[in-house]
């Protein structure tokens, strides 16, 4: 049967644009649809990324996408002492503070250059199915409602994803697997603009506070709290306001922008493909459960998805079996780390401020050569095994 497109990607965030780019580049006929009227705006992100993974997904940042560059990460314990990590050691969320309004557009532009179509202000409202097989998507745009047929619909529709659920894939989250976030773009502040700062402990129950510099006197200052630890909808803002008022560097700051949103901090979900359907990025719960960072994983999984979809288009086979190459591919790249970090997160949220203070003091004493959960725990274990006895199954 003739179809309108090989692939329709729902959502033009990092995951959607990367998927569309690699599918189109390898010969698939691709359409991206985005419900917003402008790619990348409004921003719902702390905007911290590292450089380490760009080459692996073919990403070349332009000047506008980079707001600020830092030397590394500063991890601050509840008693105010800190541990510095160089950019190289700091993991996937530290090195560059991007401007997502431009970054997301850059990725979408790459997808268009590779041959993908893009339609803005166009929302997916329903999947078209033949039995359990997805064969297209109903969309609503300024022109009205219409059905688009395709070999595969890609759910790249972010944290609140509905497309996966419409296809019958379980992406539901327990309250303890969700971090609720609130962030100010604060200007008129004094800050150590050479570092992205992470503040741990009970100031941000079940999460952390971040200060990511956008320039010398402006930063994204945000907080994430585990949903199960919230006593009301305004709780995260209240905690963040209290922190800002207690910090002389930030107290005189004024907001240019407010952001609220959520991230998943769950174990990898069981299934991300079905007949004619594939989930990627936040929709596939590929966010790092410790940092809440998801841009790098969305891009890495997006590249795998695009390549698999192009092969599926050539073979005219978008069955679940054919798309399992994506399931296996992204899991090979990301699953071990996601699972290990989820286990570590489950324990981290139970630690007292005193334990965080001791861990930071120990890290300053023993040092670590890599910012991975395993490397940190190993370094601490060598000197103070009792401090990490809770984490024995990760060692
Ligand atoms: C407060 C906050 C701070 C964060 N800070 C960081 C950070 O510093 N570093 C980091 O790496 N990650 C961070 N993240 C996570 C990061 O933003 C996400 O992991 C990343 O955006 C995932 O990309 P995505 O393409 O999967 O989803 P998104 O970027 O959410 O894109 C999904 C797109 O789908 C569109 N869409 C949704 N439904 C439909 C529909 N029905 N039809 C058409 N289009 C639709 C949306 O409009 C959106 O554009 C943060 C998240 C939050 C909430």
Whether the Cβ atoms of residue 337 and residue 375 lie closer than 8 Å to each other: no
State yes or no: pLDDT of 23 exceeds 80: yes
Rounded distance from Cα 130 to ligand 1 centre (Å):
30
> Does 11 have pLDDT greater than 90?
yes
Q: Band of the pLDDT at 232, cuts 50, 70, 90? A: confident
Asked whether residue 197 falls in the same domain as residue 182, the answer is: yes
**Are 192 and 326 part of one and the same domain?**
no
Tell me: do 133 and 229 sit in the same domain.
Answer: no
pLDDT at 378 over 80: no
Residue 56 maps to a domain: no
Euclidean distance between CA atoms 319 and 157, whole angstroms: 21
Q: Is residue 52 one of the residues assigned to a domain?
A: no
Average pLDDT, the chain: 94
Residue 370 has a pLDDT of: 67
Tell whether 147 and 178 lie within a shared domain.
no
In angstroms, the CA 214 to CA 13 distance is: 21
Ligand 1 centre from 158 Cα, in Å?
5
Q: For residues 183 and 165, state if they share a domain.
A: no
pLDDT 10s digits, 108-160: 999 999 999 999 999 999 999 999 999 999 999 999 999 999 999 999 999 99
Mean pLDDT of 14-43: 98
Domain final residue, candidates 264, 296, 320: 264
Q: Mutate which of 68, 213, 236, 294 to test ligand 1's pocket (most atoms within 8 Å of Cβ)? A: 294
Residues 214 and 327 occupy one common structural domain = no
By C-alpha distance, which of 373, 362, 351, 218 is closest to 291?
A: 373
Task: Kindly state whether residue 55 falls inside one of the protein's structural domains.
Answer: no
Compute, in angstroms, the gap from residue 49 CA to the centroid of ligand 1: 14
| Residue 255 lies in domain | 68-97+174-264
Q: Residue 283: inside a domain, yes or no?
A: yes
Ligand 1 residue neighbourhood (C-beta within 6 Å): 10-16, 33-36, 44-49, 93, 123-124, 156-159, 181, 183, 222, 259, 261-263, 281-283, 287, 292-296, 298
Is 146 in the same domain as 17?
Answer: yes
Choice among 11-15, 235-239, 379-383 with the minimum mean pLDDT = 379-383
Q: State residue 374's pLDDT score.
A: 74
Same structural domain for residues 205 and 313?
no
Residue nearest to atom 10 of ligand 1 (CA): 293
Residue 161 Cα to ligand 1 midpoint, Å, equals: 10
* 204 and 250 together in one domain: yes
Averaged over 6-24, what is the pLDDT? 98
DSSP-derived pairing of the beta strands 48-49 and 5-10? unpaired
Closest residue by Cα to atom 16, ligand 1, is 294
C-alpha angle with apex 221: 92 to 83, nearest 5 degrees? 55
Q: What is the pTM of this model?
A: 0.95
Query: What is the number of domains present in the chain?
Result: 3
**Ligand 1 centroid to residue 91 C-alpha, Å:** 20
Q: Which of 88-92, 254-258, 273-277, 294-298 has the lowest mean pLDDT?
A: 88-92
Beta strands in the chain (DSSP E): 5-10, 30-33, 48-49, 66-69, 72-76, 82-86, 96-98, 117-119, 123-130, 133-141, 144-155, 178-187, 195-199, 208-215, 218-226, 254-264, 273-274, 277-279
Q: Which residue, judged by its Cα, is nearest atom 50 of ligand 1?
A: 45
Answer yes or no: are the C-beta atoms of 124 and 163 closer than 8 Å.
yes
Does 355 reside within a domain? yes
Distance 145 CA to ligand 1 centre (A): 25
Last residue of a domain, one of 215, 242, 264: 264
Mean per-residue pLDDT, 231-244: 94
- Please, which pLDDT band fits residue 74 given cuts at 50, 70 and 90? very high
62 domain-assigned: no
Alpha-carbon 202 to chain mean position: 23
> Of 234, 264, 294, which marks where a domain is finished?
264
Same domain, 328 and 383: no
Ligand 1: which of 292, 296, 341 to mutate, most ligand atoms within 8 Å of CB? Answer: 292
pLDDT, mean of residues 96-102? 97
Residue 35 pLDDT > 90: yes
């Amino acid at each position: 049967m003739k179809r309108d497109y090989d692939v329709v990607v729902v959502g033009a965030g990092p995951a959607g644009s990367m998927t569309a780019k690699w599918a189109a580049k390898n010969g698939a006929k691709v359409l991206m649809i985005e419900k917003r009227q402008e790619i990348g705006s409004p921003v719902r992100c702390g905007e911290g990324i590292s450089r380490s993974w760009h080459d692996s997904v073919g990403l070349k940042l332009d000047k506008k996408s980079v707001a600020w560059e830092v030397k590394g990460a500063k991890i601050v314990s509840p008693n105010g002492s800190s541990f510095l990590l160089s950019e190289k050691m700091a993991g996937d969320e530290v090195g560059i503070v991007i401007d997502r309004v431009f970054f997301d557009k850059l990725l979408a532009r790459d997808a268009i250059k590779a041959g993908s179509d893009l339609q803005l202000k166009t929302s997916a409202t329903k999947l078209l199915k033949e039995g359990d097989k997805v064969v297209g998507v109903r969309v609503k745009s300024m022109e009205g409602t219409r059905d688009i047929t395709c070999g595969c619909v890609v759910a790249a529709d972010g944290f609140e994803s509905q497309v996966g659920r419409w296809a019958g894939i379980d992406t539901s989250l327990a309250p303890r697997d969700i971090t609720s976030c609130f962030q100010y773009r604060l200007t008129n502040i004094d800050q150590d603009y050479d570092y992205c700062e992470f503040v741990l402990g009970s100031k941000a129950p079940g999460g952390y506070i971040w200060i990511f510099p956008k320039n010398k006197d402006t930063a994204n200052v945000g907080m994430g709290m585990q949903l199960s630890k919230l006593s009301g909808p305004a709780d995260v803002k209240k905690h963040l306001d209290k922190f800002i008022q207690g910090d002389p560097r930030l107290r005189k700051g004024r907001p240019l922008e407010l952001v609220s949103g959520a991230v998943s901090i769950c174990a990898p979900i069981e299934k991300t493909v079905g007949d004619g359907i594939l989930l990627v990025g936040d929709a596939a719960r590929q966010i790092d459960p410790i940092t809440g960072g998801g841009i790098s994983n969305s891009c890495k999984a997006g590249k795998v998805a695009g390549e698999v979809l192009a092969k599926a288009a050539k073979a005219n086979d978008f069955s679940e079996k054919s798309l399992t190459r994506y399931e296996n591919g992204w899991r090979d790249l990301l699953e071990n780390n996601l699972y290990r970090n989820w286990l570590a997160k489950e324990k981290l949220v139970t630690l007292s401020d005193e334990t965080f203070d001791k861990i930071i003091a120990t890290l300053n004493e023993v040092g670590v050569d890599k910012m991975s959960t395993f490397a940190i725990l190993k370094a601490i274990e060598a000197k103070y095994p009792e401090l990490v006895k809770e984490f024995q199954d990760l060692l």
